Structure 1
Amino acid sequence: MKITVKKGSLADVKTEAFILVFCEGEKTLSGPAADIDRKSGGLIADIIKSGGFEAKPSQVTMIYSRTLAAKRIALVGLGKKNELTPEKIRRAFAKVMQELRGSKVRKAAVSLDLSLLNVRKEKVVSAAVEGAVLGLYRYSPYKTVGREELQDVQEMTIVPGPKDYALVRDEVQKTKIIADAVCFARDLVSAPANEMTPSILAEQARVVAKRKNVSCRVLEKGQMKALGMNALLGVAAGSDQPPKLIVLEYTGGKKGEAPIALVGKGLTFDSGGISIKPAEKMDEMKTDMAGGAAVLAVIRAAADLKLPVHLVGLVPATENLSGGSALKPGDVLKSHSGRTIEVLNTDAEGRLILADALSYACRYKPSAIIDIATLTGACVVALGEEVAGMLGTDDRMKKALREAAGETGELIWELPLWDHYHELIKSDIADYKNSAGRLGGAITGAAFLSKFVGEYPWVHLDIAGPAWTTKDRGYIPKGASGIPVRLLMEFLQNRVQEKK
């Protein structure tokens, strides 16, 4: 969807629908709403007076006019003004754009008078754009029947107050880049596994690397073998698809600046291997590369924004299948770090491929390491489907990520990583075992990963729950969510501001 920012009066925009936002309890129309009401013959005032529109959160009421350039007026509720949050704005804009799409509207224009709302101006704009773009997302490249019905809103014009034009223009441009990156991540995760193999994911990384200051290296099987990445290669052994270690680097920061390493799990399909998963919902295991997709999307967005940071993104990409050469329970692997791992469960494979990628990330001497992975079902059991688990060794970074999540509406919750959990991953015959059983599984999984990050500041995000949703949730339609791309971009932008 194209988004433009235009000076002047909302009523003068040539479009198919006007969007007006209201807070609950507003008795008097003002600004663009009063202008549109007057030119429509009092339609807005009449419906408010009759109780047909109360401006409840995400309430959308459609009015039809014969006297305006636009045939439709969409009244959008934001709830009580003193309870307004960016999240409510996101949800409201997602709802109205979905309603307009259902009405076959292709062009819409919205008035954003930022002086009337009590949320910081930049956040009003970003939330509106995020809600509109992300709420309209749908994955339909394989639809052939009824494709002509899949029409979207193609253009949204934003008309700000006269003093806010530059602010709105700049914020729209920035937010659109990030929202498009989220949709890119959603596309990668939604793709069927036969269309998103490790090799295809690597090609997507090479496309990202066409941007300025971005480079891409893809380590092949022979190179990984020479580097001793036997944990990653062990997981890949059961598949005919060759594994890849994707390394994207964005050098937007100062010369010599230590990078932030982003490591994303890239299991393009996970059957569980010999420790095979149940057939029910196994189709959803195409989503086991959501962490890797997020890394590619963040590098893309950072480059498009010309963010002054140095990033290294690593994505160990493979399938986990049960072929004749597959890893077996009881096997012992020597990882890239030199540490040995007893494999008790081949379905605890994500931590194996991440072990080698995290160890390799240490070569870059990063200022911080963040890994993103659909790591454990145990995290979903503990926190539910909408919340990501967070564990790590650096309190400052965890605090910064919590604050970023508070701004973006992505839910994360810290879990403990106390010493006794580390005892649970010790092996009788090797250094570590890749499974400590069901109890505390999200934590013992993170404890395992912590053995491969050296002394570098590290945080682990377990996105097994929120990476995929089985029902529509406002601006997160059913399917891939794109979490935690916005969270990480907020974190990086805040980090840049702190350095100024």
Structure 2
Amino acid sequence: MTALSVSTSSAASLRADALVIGVAKGPKGLLLAPGSEAVAEAFEGKLAEVLATLGATGAEGEAVKVPAAPGLKAALVLAVGLGEAPEAGYADETLRRAAGVAARTLSGTKKAALALPAESAEQAEAVALGGLLGSYGYTAYKGESGKAPVGELVLLTDRKGSKDAKAATERATAIGEEINRARDLVNAAPNDLNPKSFAAIAVAAGKEHGLKVEVLDEKALAKGGFGGILGVGNGSDNPPRLVKVAYTHPKAKQTIALVGKGITYDSGGISLKPAGHNETMKCDMAGAAAVFASVVAAKRLGLAVNVTGWLALAENMPSGTATRPGDVLKMYGGKTVEVLNTDAEGRLVLADAIVRAGEENPDVIIDVATLTGAMVLALGNRIFGVMSNNDELRTRLHTTAEATGEPAWPMPLPADLIKGMTDSTIADIANMGDRMGGGLVAGLFLKEFVSEGTDWAHLDIAGPAFHEGAPFGYTPKGGTGTAIRTLVRFAEETAAGK
């Protein structure tokens, strides 16, 4: 695990294996970003020229190494591109990505100093968080072949801003470590992570951080009438679980309920997925991982708001006991669902958990799920969709997500699309409706299980939850931990009365 620290030492005097600076595209060529002054002085004013000779342009994502000049205590200078130079201040997301590029480039290094622009607490936090996220690597199964992350990242700041920078790195550490916890869960092999083992991890975290954790096993689920979760998990030898992870604060005035889809492996069930669509289906529990990590982060940050996470955990497998297309499930709360496609299983486990969450009368319910391929078709691989029964809540979540650097887009819930599901001749509703607008149809299905008068939002993170391409910025290949920053910021805003 990469350590984060703050130093008021000069970039020239700090002993480190590498020193990171920022460079940008200016109107007349390469520009050195704030924070690089001492380094430039050591190069006698020729640093930009040297870097340009080595091919540096300042483009975002670029990383160019140069041996350190005499007078620097570091052995290496790494220049990372920040893109076009802004008229006033670098954006937080630009700095997060640059720090992530630096951390990835310097993997295996023991100590690296970050002399990137950090002139405000927000910028300092962005640099620290980007570095911590960029240093992530999943090596659980690689043994000695896995490359170690940077051992320590040192954020350089002046004495005037050191107090704010220290607080910023502490917050970044709490959030970054929880995002990386979620990434670990998403990346874990499905033969290791199943509903029971996921629940055990939640119980252990609850003991570590002082959270109240309750686990309903298959017997308790049957006794309670959780037909959706049980129906999805019936085909697996690994029985389902519903896990409640609760953080309460004595001064809290509001309660947020977070509901996460936790399909630890999704074969599609009897409606089996075609070849080529199964290999990454261990990631279908990314919503539950995000919810779990967000609750722990809220506790670590001491936010004055109650946050309860509901992890709806099941493994969707085909077998002689699996739910069949045509079966009718009696959901928690009594509503009946005709199952037309067993690969539309996430909405079934979420529906049970949403009803259960609503019984505790939270001020808002937010569910998070890798729910539909239709949302990926609509928004691509890097943007998640936001739906809600409250336009103001939808707008707030969209704004919050964008502010944290998590691309999102508000989506509608057209009333006419519900008819395709409520036309079931044998049940209250079917789990499938119109094929066109499938992501919206899934949202409408979930809305049917939200208690009257409760504000609710649905985040469909199917696109950005699992990255299959080459790493970029602070985003690794595999699990990304998407939506956690949005949920934590939302909880912070709620605690502040916004």
Q: Common fold, TM-score beyond 0.5?
A: yes
Amino acid in structure 2 at the alignment position of 1:63? V
CA 158–339 in structure 1, closer or farther in 2 if over 3 Å, else same:
same
Match of 2:488 in 1: 489
CA deviations 1:386-442 (Å, max 9, x no partner) are 111111112222122111111122111122112212222111111000011421111
Structure 1 unpaired stretches of 5+ = 116-120
CA 19–124 in structure 1, closer or farther in 2 if over 3 Å, else same:
same
What's the offset of the Cα at 1:42?
4.8
**Counterpart check, 1:233 vs 2:238:** no
Larger displacement relative to structure 2 (433-442 or 355-364): 433-442
CA 9–283 in structure 1, closer or farther in 2 if over 3 Å, else same:
same
Match of 1:469 in 2: 467
SS of 1:57's partner is coil
SS of 1:210's partner is helix
**Counterpart check, 1:190 vs 2:187:** yes
- State whether residues 417 and 434 of structure 2, in contact with CA within 8 Å, keep that contact through their aligned partners in structure 1: no
Task: Output the aligned Cα RMSD.
Answer: 2.1
What's the offset of the Cα at 1:258?
4.4
Amino acid in structure 2 at the alignment position of 1:9? S
- State whether residues 116 and 127 of structure 2, in contact with CA within 8 Å, keep that contact through their aligned partners in structure 1: no
What's the offset of the Cα at 1:109?
1.0
Mapped to 1, the partners of 2:35 and 2:228 lie a distance apart of 61
Mapped to 2, the partners of 1:318 and 1:286 lie a distance apart of 12
Alignment of 1:406-421 (within 5 A): 406-421=402-417
Match of 1:118 in 2: none
Mapped to 2, the partners of 1:459 and 1:334 lie a distance apart of 24
The counterpart of 1:111, out of the listed 96, 115, 120, is 115
What's the offset of the Cα at 1:52?
4.9
**Counterpart check, 1:91 vs 2:97:** yes
Identity percentage over the alignment?
Answer: 37
CA 394–74 in structure 1, closer or farther in 2 if over 3 Å, else same:
same
Larger displacement relative to structure 2 (421-430 or 490-499): 490-499
SS of 1:5's partner is strand
CA 33–206 in structure 1, closer or farther in 2 if over 3 Å, else same:
same
CA deviations 1:63-94 (Å, max 9, x no partner) are 21362321111223323122832222122112
Mapped to 2, the partners of 1:420 and 1:394 lie a distance apart of 18
SS of 1:126's partner is helix
CA 47–322 in structure 1, closer or farther in 2 if over 3 Å, else same:
same
Mapped to 2, the partners of 1:308 and 1:78 lie a distance apart of 36
What's the offset of the Cα at 1:49?
7.5
Amino acid in structure 2 at the alignment position of 1:348? A
Match of 2:36 in 1: 33
CA deviations 1:355-390 (Å, max 9, x no partner) are 111110011101000000111111111111111111
- State whether residues 112 and 160 of structure 1, in contact with CA within 8 Å, keep that contact through their aligned partners in structure 2: no
Q: Of Structure 1 and Structure 2, which has the larger fraction of its residues in helix?
A: 1
Match of 2:177 in 1: 180
- State whether residues 234 and 333 of structure 1, in contact with CA within 8 Å, keep that contact through their aligned partners in structure 2: yes
SS of 2:291's partner is helix
- State whether residues 255 and 364 of structure 2, in contact with CA within 8 Å, keep that contact through their aligned partners in structure 1: yes
Match of 1:73 in 2: 77
Match of 1:381 in 2: 377
Misfit runs of 4+, over 6 Å = 26-31
Match of 1:60 in 2: 63
Mapped to 1, the partners of 2:228 and 2:441 lie a distance apart of 18
The counterpart of 1:223, out of the listed 220, 223, 239, is 220
Amino acid in structure 2 at the alignment position of 1:356? D
The counterpart of 1:454, out of the listed 425, 432, 451, is 451
- State whether residues 255 and 305 of structure 2, in contact with CA within 8 Å, keep that contact through their aligned partners in structure 1: yes
The aligned length equals: 489
Alignment of 1:353-372 (within 5 A): 353-372=349-368
SS of 1:247's partner is strand
- State whether residues 386 and 398 of structure 2, in contact with CA within 8 Å, keep that contact through their aligned partners in structure 1: no
Match of 2:206 in 1: 209
CA 362–49 in structure 1, closer or farther in 2 if over 3 Å, else same:
closer
- State whether residues 185 and 297 of structure 1, in contact with CA within 8 Å, keep that contact through their aligned partners in structure 2: yes
What's the offset of the Cα at 1:474?
2.2
Amino acid in structure 2 at the alignment position of 1:401? L
Mapped to 2, the partners of 1:92 and 1:300 lie a distance apart of 27
CA 489–31 in structure 1, closer or farther in 2 if over 3 Å, else same:
closer
Alignment of 1:325-364 (within 5 A): 325-364=321-360
**Counterpart check, 1:276 vs 2:272:** yes
Mapped to 2, the partners of 1:77 and 1:279 lie a distance apart of 40
The counterpart of 2:432, out of the listed 432, 435, 441, is 435
SS of 2:385's partner is strand
Larger displacement relative to structure 2 (198-207 or 382-391): 382-391
Mapped to 1, the partners of 2:34 and 2:338 lie a distance apart of 68
Mapped to 2, the partners of 1:240 and 1:52 lie a distance apart of 56
Mapped to 1, the partners of 2:342 and 2:31 lie a distance apart of 64
Mapped to 1, the partners of 2:30 and 2:463 lie a distance apart of 42
Amino acid in structure 1 at the alignment position of 2:342? T
SS of 2:314's partner is strand
- State whether residues 25 and 31 of structure 2, in contact with CA within 8 Å, keep that contact through their aligned partners in structure 1: no
What's the offset of the Cα at 1:38?
3.3
- State whether residues 283 and 466 of structure 2, in contact with CA within 8 Å, keep that contact through their aligned partners in structure 1: yes
SS of 2:280's partner is helix
What's the offset of the Cα at 1:15?
0.9
Amino acid in structure 1 at the alignment position of 2:325? P
Mapped to 1, the partners of 2:8 and 2:93 lie a distance apart of 26
